Structure formats: C-alpha cells, structure tokens
C-alpha cells in the first residue's frame, strides 16, 4: 500500500523530468521518500492502535480467542525465553565480573548492580527483543498467510472487522503475557547469573542476591517498559501482516518487516522510557 | 486439492489420503501428545536441524576452501545484505550507545565516577552490546529475508531447476550467501562499534554533562581497555554471522507447503538464530576471557 501510493506522489511533483531521472534518484529524494514512508507508517500504526483500543472497550467479548492467543504467545515462548535469558544472565555476570576485576579487588557489588540493571532495563528490553522476534514473526506470518489466501477479505465480506477478530485478541494477550514472561525471564537470569558468579568468581549467592540498589523507581520503569513493549509488538506485527501482498515472497517480507520494526520500536521505546525514568526518579 | 477432497462423497477413502488425520499405530491413537512426548519430539527436532546444519556447513566449507562459488552472486548479496542494512545499523547503534549511558548513569552519579564513564561504556559496547545487537537486528532483516527468498525458490521449484541444469545449488546459491552474511556482520560490527561509542559520548554529554573529550580520554587513555576487547567483539561477530548464515540457509532449503510454509520457516529461523547467537555468545566470551 505504501509503495502504491508513492507513485502518483512523485509523478505529480516531478513532471516529465522526474521520469527521466527515475533510474537514479538523488540522495535527497531517497531520504525524502524514506521519511514520507516512515511518517505514513507512523500514522497507520497510530490509527491501528486507536482502533484496537476502541475494540478492546466496545468490541465483541471473546475470552476463548484471547486465551488461545495467550497460550500461543505466552506458553509457547517460555522455552525459548528461558534458554535465551538463562544465557543472558550468565553473559552479563561474566562480563560484569571481568569489568570489575580490572578496577576493584572484590566482587561484592556485582550482584547488586546486576539486579538493579535487570529490574530497570535488561529483563524487559532483552526479553521483549526476543518476543519481538518470536511473537512478532509469528503474528505477521499468520496474518500475512491469511491475507495471501484471501481469508481477510472473506472476514471483511461477512462484516467482521479483522482488527476486532484478529488484532484485538493478540493485543490483549500480548499485553498480559509480556509482563508475565519478563518477570519469569528476570527470575531465570538471576538464577543463572548467581550460579555463574558462584562458579567463576566465587561470590556467595547470599552476597549476590542483594536488592539494596533496587528501588520503586526501578520497578515502575521496568513494568512501564513491559506494558509499552507488550502493546507495541502485536500492533506493529499485525500492521505488517495486514499490509502483506504478493504470494509466499510477500509473507516472507511481511515477517521480516515485523521483526525489524518491532525490534526498532523496542529500542526506541527503551531510550524514551529510560530517559523519562531517569529524569523522573533521578539517579 | 482440498476442494476436490471435499467434493468427494463422505465416507470414501478420505481419511487415508488426507494425511491430516493421524494414522492409528499400535494401540489407541493418542489424542493429546503427552509432556514427555512433546519434550522428546522437540529435542529430536532440534537435533535433526543441528545435524542438517552441520552437513550444510561441511558442504559450504568445502566449496569455500576450493574457491568454488559464484563471485557475482557474492557481490550481489553483499550489496543486498550489507549496504541495505546500513540505516538499521546506524539507528540501532546510536540508540543503544545512548541507552548504555542511561543505564550506567545512576551508578556513575552515586560513585562520582564521571571520568570512568568512557571506559565503562566502551567496555560493554565493544565487548558485548554492539556485536550482540547488530547481530540481532541483522538477523531480523537479513536472516529472515534470506530464508524467505530461498524458501520461495524451493516452493516454486527453482532449486530443482538449477539441479536439472547441472548447477550446484550450494556453490551457486548457498555458499555466497553464507560468506556474504559473515562479511556483512563483521563489517557492520566495526561500524556499529564506532557509532555506538559516538551515541554514548553524546548521550553522556546530554545526560551527565560529561564532555565528549573526557569520554574519549577515558576510553583510550587508560590501560584498562585494549585491542583485545575490540577483537573479542569482532570474533563474536564472525561466529554470529556463521550461525545466522547456516540456520537461515538450512531453514530456507527445508521449506514445505506454500506461503504458510515460508512464513513458518522464517519464524523458525529467526528464533533459532537468536537462540544460537545467545548460547554461542556465552561460550565465546568464556573462552576468550
């Protein structure tokens, strides 16, 4: 849809000369087209988000669909997230310990700093990057296949809005399940980090599990991130799924776009919420 | 095929030819696979994909060592994977640099260690964050795309057509992609290292009022940070590139069943590469320390 609407825009703007320049557009033109495309996608995402919220309040009540999506998004991601976050805990403690080793003689602060970082940022952000990959790709592939096989048109023809039927249950499920999965992955990362600290640096688990540096500001920032990521991932993936066109290659493209845009959204929201958290709650 | 099957009168040999229905083996057919069965099935699935990747890796390695691969395809893929990913790498690296500083900020303020910010951010960026996040982003863009492309070729029987023309698909399609992915990731990581440090320097200036010059001095001046830290990150990037290349090619060649099959394969490859990246990250960090 984005590319289709590009054509008339550049034609009316450039006239005859533009069509001669077509093979090699200038850098400014490329950047401009990119920006216009980005703004348009931003508006589409916003409109999709608002309509999803509307249907959450006024739409049909279907707990069955939401539960099914919760299983799909939540339970099926547990194994993947456990493996990844387990290794993340080990990596972070290992690197943190190596870093500390260069300036300080003792490792007693490693655990406290690690837990602080984990609660404030890393559990939510890395966990959600992984969810953007797994859940986002899954949603985009599923909805994209539906678009390609014209099931979405069939839904529209029977007067059912695909947003109400398809996006809304995934949105609610993701909102709930991202928070649960992040809490679980924080626990896993803490456990493996504790083990690594004990085995590699000889830090007593009792010393490691030190929550002195975690305050309510950290907790609020972390939970706000969970909610923001949980809302952003299904919207972005659903958008790129609904925009699919052109057979099996189109489904592949939609999936790629969902993963990329989801991950970028997580990083962008991380920057925004972290800055806001730092400014509101202070150091 | 489905319409033909549904047109047939009910009660003929539909269940046998359909394949969707589980054929009854010995004893009563299990309606729900048990937990043990699911775990075992998952384990077998992982093992078989790992084995297939190993075989594919061996085939690619043989082609690469004997320089038996298509140069034109390599250049084309380098452009498609590397040059086209530059915007994403730039955005990711700048933002993650700033995020690292924000996360370190409370610690820096509490300890009053403004002079060590450059070292602290540089250590984590060069060794861990830049290679890891670049790999994750390129995995989403290039790995997924590669699988989709190869999967579409498999579904439309283009790979078989290559074989019919006596062109080896591994040396024509797979080996150039693998090599292009490793090179792309290596170069992008160098690029991302520099940009993430830039983002961190200006993030520190905006948030903590640490002069970029102080940042740069603490990054390069002390003995705390050496070339070994940079090479550690770069070694990781090569390993990540190999993992992504192998898994995306393997899952792409393994696609079955039209457009939904391509979607499933893309999903599987992105997940498998991400898990592989994190697992190998630990082992590389552990062996290189």
**Average of pLDDT values for A257-273?**
92
Does residue B115 have a pLDDT over 60? Answer: yes
The model's pTM: 0.83
Lookup: tokens for B96: 């993650």
Residue of B109, B232, B282, B283 to mutate when probing chain A, most A C-beta within 10 A: B282
Give the 3-state secondary structure of residue A49: helix
For A95, residues 6+ apart whose C-beta sits below 8 A from its C-beta are: B123, B124, B127, B128, B285
Mean pLDDT for all residues in chain A = 85
> Residues of A numbered 158-217 whose beta carbons fall under 8 angstroms of chain B's beta carbons: which are they?
none
Residue B19 has pLDDT above 50, yes or no: no
Instruction: Find the mean pLDDT for residues B194-213.
Output: 89
The answer to whether the CB of B236 falls within 8 A of the CB of B283 is: no
Task: Give the DSSP per-residue string, A207-251.
Answer: HH---TT--HHHHHHHHHHHHHHHHHHHHHHHHHHHT--SHHHHH
The stretches of chain A forming alpha helices (DSSP H) are 2-21, 27-58, 63-73, 78-103, 110-117, 123-131, 137-148, 151-157, 162, 168-201, 205-208, 216-242, 247-281
**Residue B27: per-residue pLDDT:** 58
Q: What gap in Å lies between CA A248 and CA B155, rounded to an integer?
A: 9
Chain B residues 177-216 with CB within 8 Å of chain A: 207
Q: Cβ–Cβ of B267/A137 closer than 8 Å?
A: yes
Cβ-based burial of B235 (10 A; exposed 0-12, middle 13-18, buried ≥19) = middle
Of A116, A149, A249, the CB nearest to B148: A249
- A25, two tokens: 């557009």
* The two three-digit tokens of residue B161, written as one number: 């057509």
Per-residue pLDDT of A161-196, as tens digits, reads 888 889 999 999 999 999 999 999 999 999 999 999
A64-75 pLDDT tens trace: 889 999 998 888
Distance from CA of A167 to the nearest CA of B (A): 18
Residue labelled with tokens 């709930």: A176
Q: Do B95 and A271 touch (CB under 8 A)?
A: yes
pLDDT over 70, % of chain A: 92
Higher confidence at residue A16 or residue B235? B235
B23 three-state secondary structure: coil
pLDDT of the residue at A26:
83
Instruction: State the average pLDDT over residues B2-23.
Output: 43
pLDDT at res. B15: 43
More confident residue, A133 or B224: A133
pLDDT reported for residue A45: 92
Tell me what pLDDT residue A11 has.
40
Please give the structure tokens belonging to residue A31: 């950047």
What is the Cα gyration radius of chain A? 23
- State pLDDT tens for residues B128-161: 889 999 999 999 889 888 998 898 889 888 899 9
Where does the pLDDT of residue A12 fall: very low under 50, low under 70, confident under 90, or very high at 90 and above?
A: very low
Q: Which stretches of chain B are DSSP H helices?
A: 2-7, 14-18, 35-65, 71-81, 86-111, 117-124, 130-138, 144-155, 158-164, 169, 175-208, 212-220, 227-253, 258-288
pLDDT for the residue numbered B11: 40
The answer, yes or no, to whether residue A8 has pLDDT greater than 80, is no
Per-residue confidence (pLDDT) for residue A252, from 0 to 100? 79
Q: Could you report the per-residue pLDDT of A80-89, keeping only the tens digit for each?
A: 999 999 999 9
Residue A116 in contact with residue A218, Cβ under 8 Å? Answer: yes
Confirm or reject contact between B105 and chain A (CB < 8 A).
yes
Coil, helix or strand at residue A113: helix
| Distance in angstroms between the alpha carbons of the first and the last residue of chain B | 58
Percent of chain B with pLDDT over 70: 89
Are B93 and B188 within 8 A, CB to CB?
Answer: no
Q: Is A267–B99 a contact, with Cβ atoms under 8 angstroms apart? A: yes
Between the alpha carbon of residue B207 and those of residues A220, B25, B61, the distances in Å are: 20, 66, 48
DSSP state of B114: G
The C-alpha atoms of residue A197 and residue B34 are separated, in whole angstroms, by 37
Instruction: Inspect the interface and report whether the beta carbons of A137 and B144 lie closer than 8 Å.
Output: yes
Residues of A in contact with B140 (CB under 8 A): 133, 256, 259-260, 263
> Above 90 in pLDDT, residue B70?
no
Residues of B in contact with A251 (CB under 8 A): 148, 259-260, 262-263, 266
Residue pair A195/A92 in contact by the 8 Å Cβ criterion = no
Alpha-carbon distance B125 to B122, whole Å? 5
CB B137 within 8 A of CB B84: no
Picking from B106, B207, B258, the nearest residue to A248 by CB comes out as B258
pLDDT, one tens digit per residue, over B214-224 is 888 888 876 77
B97–chain A nearest CA distance, Å: 10
Q: How confident is the model over B113-127, as a mean pLDDT?
A: 85
Listed by number, the residues of chain A in 111-130 with a beta carbon closer than 8 Å to a beta carbon of chain B are 113, 116-117, 120-122, 125, 129-130
Q: Check CB contact under 8 Å for A133 and B266.
A: no
Tell me, what's the pLDDT at B277? 92
Query: Which of B88, B263, B274 lies at the smallest CB-CB distance from A144?
Result: B263
The partner residue sitting opposite A263, judged by closest CB among B42, B140, B285, is B140
């Amino acid at each position: 849809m984005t590319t289709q609407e590009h054509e008339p825009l550049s034609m009316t703007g450039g006239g005859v000369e533009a069509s001669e320049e077509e093979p090699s557009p200038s850098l400014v033109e490329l950047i401009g087209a990119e920006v216009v495309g980005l703004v348009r996608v931003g508006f589409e995402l916003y409109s999709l988000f608002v309509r999803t919220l509307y249907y959450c309040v006024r739409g049909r009540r279907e707990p069955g669909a939401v539960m099914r999506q919760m299983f799909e998004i939540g339970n099926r991601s547990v194994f993947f997230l456990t493996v990844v976050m387990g290794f993340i805990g080990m990596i972070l403690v290992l690197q943190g310990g190596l870093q500390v080793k260069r300036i300080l003689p003792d490792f007693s602060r490693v655990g406290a700093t690690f837990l602080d970082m984990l609660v404030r940022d890393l559990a939510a952000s890395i966990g959600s990057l992984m969810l953007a990959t797994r859940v986002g790709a899954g949603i985009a592939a599923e909805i994209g296949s539906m678009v390609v096989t014209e099931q979405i048109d069939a839904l529209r023809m029977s007067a059912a809005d695909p947003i109400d039927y398809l996006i809304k249950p995934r949105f609610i499920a993701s909102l709930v399940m991202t928070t649960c999965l992040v809490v679980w992955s924080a626990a896993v990362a803490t456990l493996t980090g504790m083990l690594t600290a004990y085995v590699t640096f000889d830090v007593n688990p009792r010393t490691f599990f030190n929550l002195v540096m975690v305050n309510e500001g950290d907790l609020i920032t972390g939970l706000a991130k969970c909610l923001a990521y949980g809302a952003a991932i299904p919207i972005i993936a659903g958008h790129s799924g609904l925009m699919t066109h052109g057979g099996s290659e189109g489904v592949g493209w939609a999936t790629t776009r969902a993963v990329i845009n989801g991950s970028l959204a997580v990083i962008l929201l991380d920057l925004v919420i972290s800055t806001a958290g730092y400014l509101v709650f202070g150091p | 095929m489905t319409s033909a099957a549904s047109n047939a009168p009910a009660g003929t040999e539909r269940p046998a030819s359909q394949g969707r229905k589980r054929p009854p083996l010995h004893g009563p057919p299990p309606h729900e696979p048990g937990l043990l069965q699911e775990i075992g099935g998952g384990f077998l699935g992982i093992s078989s994909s790992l084995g297939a990747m190993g075989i594919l890796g061996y085939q690619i390695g043989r082609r690469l060592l004997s320089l038996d691969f298509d140069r034109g395809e390599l250049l084309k893929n380098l452009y498609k994977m590397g040059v086209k990913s530059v915007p994403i790498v730039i955005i990711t690296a700048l933002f993650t640099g700033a995020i690292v500083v924000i996360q370190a900020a409370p610690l820096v303020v509490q300890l009053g260690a403004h002079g060590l910010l450059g070292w602290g951010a540089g250590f984590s960026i060069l060794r861990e964050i830049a290679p890891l996040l670049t790999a994750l982003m390129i995995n989403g863009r290039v790995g997924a795309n590669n699988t989709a492309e190869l999967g579409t070729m498999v579904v439309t029987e283009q790979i078989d057509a290559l074989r019919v023309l006596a062109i080896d698909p591994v040396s024509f399609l797979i080996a150039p992609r693998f090599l292009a992915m490793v090179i792309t990731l290596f170069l992008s990581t160098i690029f991302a290292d520099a940009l993430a440090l830039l983002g961190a320097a200006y993030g520190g200036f905006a948030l903590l009022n640490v002069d970029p010059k102080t940042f740069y001095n603490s990054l390069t001046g002390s003995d705390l940070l050496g070339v070994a830290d940079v090479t550690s990150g770069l070694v990781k990037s090569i390993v990540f590139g190999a993992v992504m290349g192998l898994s995306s090619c393997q899952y792409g060649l393994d696609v079955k069943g039209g457009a939904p099959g391509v979607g499933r394969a893309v999903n599987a490859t992105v997940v498998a590469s991400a898990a592989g990246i994190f697992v190998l990250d630990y082992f590389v960090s552990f062996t290189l320390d």
